[in-house]
Structures are given as C-alpha cells and as structure tokens.
Amino acid sequence: MCEENRDTLTNVEAYKIAIATRNFEIDLYWKRSLFFWGFIATTALGYGSSILAEPAKQNPDLALLIACFGLICSVCWSLVNRGSKYWQEHWERKVTDFEENLGSLELFRAEDKLDDSKSYWLGARKYSVSRIAIALSDFSVLLWLSLIVNHTLSYFPNHIYLSSDAKIFLAILGTFIYLVLILNVCKSKSWISFTNKKTRGK
C-alpha cells in the first residue's frame, strides 16, 4: 500500500513538472518570436528606406544585402518556431501519459464541444496558434525570397523581364493561395480521449 502511494506521489510530481515545463516552453515560444519580430521589423525598415529614398540616394545593392539578411532572419525564425512546437508537443504528450497513469484524468485531452451556432462569424474556432505562427514565419521567408529574386532579375533585364502588372498579379495570386492553405492546414489536431483510445484497442 505504501509502495503504491509512493508511486502515485511520484506520478503527481512528474505530472506537475511536465505541466510547468510545457508552460515554460510556451512562454519561451512567444519570447523567441518577439526577438525575431524585432530583427525582421528593423530589417524591413532598412529595406524600405533604401528603396523609397530619393533616386540619387537609392542603393539597390544595399537593398539586396538587406533582403538577404531578412531572409536569413526569417528562415531562423521559422526553424525556431518548429523547434519550439516540437518541445511543446513533447511535453504535452508527457502530460497526457501522466494523466492516464493517474486515473484517466482528461484535463488536456478532453475536448469541449462549443456551441457557436449563434455566432458563426465571430465564434471560437479550433485553430492551432503555433501552426499559424509557423505559417506566418514561412510567409516571411517567401516574401524576402521574392524580393531577392526581383532584385536579381533587375540585373539581367535583357534575359528575363516581368512587367509590373505581372508581378502584382503573381503577388496577389500567391497571397490568396497561401491564405487558403492557412485556413485549411492550420487547424488543431483532433483530440482522442482515453475512453475512446481504450475502446479502439479492444
């Protein structure tokens, strides 16, 4: 009996540590994002200043270098987001395992059915905040990459030429396609309760 109590107490302590570490990872997730937002926003300001300056003060070569730095920052941001999400999900799995050992608690696995029938437009939706953040960082990567390609093409006007109308059309089309992907891919995964898991195992 004493041995059982000791095991239960160990599970409880481990459960608390798993929850605390998960919350710590989420906190770090947003702190890291703020760090990269600062770098990318500053880079975007520098790029805009070099492009929108008076013709005599414009420096396309500097703008290209700034865009390259912006691309590196965005790629790092995207990778850090993915790493943070990995560890967040790792500790969430640990939490659910401990919940199962402590008598099928379902604080993290039980899915509430919310009735949004009265407010379809402004109602709650099951989207993953971390997936949306990853999608945003990936879009930032594509944006900087597009600017670099645009600058590179300007060095070879006789070989490859795209009109301003064509560039605007491609930008709008790409943005629309990416928006549709976000709406479909960034939904949260369905939760499986322990009861359903046990039923499936039978």
Q: What is the per-residue pLDDT across 133-155, written as a single tens digit (0 to 9) for each? A: 999 999 999 999 999 998 888 87
CA distance 188 to 17: 24
Residue 182's pLDDT band, with cuts at 50, 70 and 90, is: very high
Residue identified by tokens 């302590």 is: 13
Of residues 193 and 53, the one with the higher pLDDT is: 53
The mean predicted confidence, pLDDT, of the chain is 79
Yes or no: say if 74 and 40 are a contact pair by the CB < 8 Å rule: yes
Query: For the chain, percent helix, then strand, then coil, each to nearest 5?
Result: 75, 0, 25
CA distance 201 to 106: 18
Q: List the structure tokens of 160.
A: 């490859």
Residue identified by tokens 């599970």 is: 11
Q: Go through the chain and tell me how many residues it has.
A: 202
pTM summary value = 0.76
Q: How far is CA 99 from CA 25, 28, 140, in A?
A: 19, 24, 38
Range scoring the smallest mean pLDDT among 36-45, 54-63, 143-152, 186-195: 186-195
Q: Which of 114, 97, 115 is nearest to 106 (CA)?
A: 97
Q: What is the pLDDT of residue 166?
A: 84
DSSP state of 57: G
Q: What is the pLDDT of residue 106?
A: 61
Helices (H) and strands (E) in the chain, counts: 5, 0
Angle between helices 60-101 and 2-51 (to 10 degrees): 170
Q: Which amino acid makes up residue 128?
A: S
The pLDDT tens digits for 60-100 are: 888 999 999 999 999 999 999 999 889 888 888 888 777 77
